[in-house]
Structures are given as C-alpha cells and as structure tokens.
Amino acid sequence: MDKKYFVLHLLPSRPDFAQTMSAEERAVMMEHVAYWTALMNQGKVLAFGPVLDPAAVYGLGIIAAEDEEEVKAFIAGDPAATINRYEYFPMMAVVPAQ
C-alpha cells in the first residue's frame, strides 16, 4: 500500500506558550517529544519539532500514515493534545526512495 503523507500543525494554547510553560506543561511536552520520537523510530514520522516563528512558536510534523483515521489516532495518543490543539492536512510529499 502506498503511504499517505500529512503535515501536522500543533497550535499552542497561548501565543507565548513556549516561553511561559509551567512545570506541568513542560513535563507534558517532554512526553510529547518521547511519543513522536517513538513513532519516528517506527518509520511513521519523517520530521517534527518546534518552528521558531518570531510571532509565535508552534509545532510542525510530517508523518506517513495509512489513512486519515491513523492520523487522528496519532493525535489522540499525543500527550500534548491534552493542552494544545492540532490541525492536519494531506501533503504531496517528495521523499527519498526507500
């Protein structure tokens, strides 16, 4: 089956979230990094991380999924989804040959 690619946009709960995280929020975000790193190690994630936009830092990820339901499941399993929100969009990604 051909992989489908999606871009994920993690929208912080407030514009200065990256600069003003509480200890509890920072702990959730560390779990978030571990979660997406594990998916990356399974070949499901091409890249992820914070985008240092001067207007407001946000998260971005590029993932490979079987379908949109798998994307929704990835988001639902992310600890950061409890304190932030996601948008996602299909992507016509050009990736290296396997």
Global model pTM greater than 0.85: yes
Spans of all domains in the chain = 4-91
Report yes or no: 60 and 52 within 8 Å, Cβ to Cβ: no
Give 3's pLDDT tier (boundaries 50, 70, 90).
confident
| 10 CB-near residues (< 8 Å, 6+ apart) | 58, 59, 60, 61, 80, 84, 85, 86
| pLDDT tens digits along 47-98 | 999 999 998 899 999 999 999 999 999 999 999 999 999 999 999 988 887 7
Region 4-91: CATH code:
3.30.70.1060
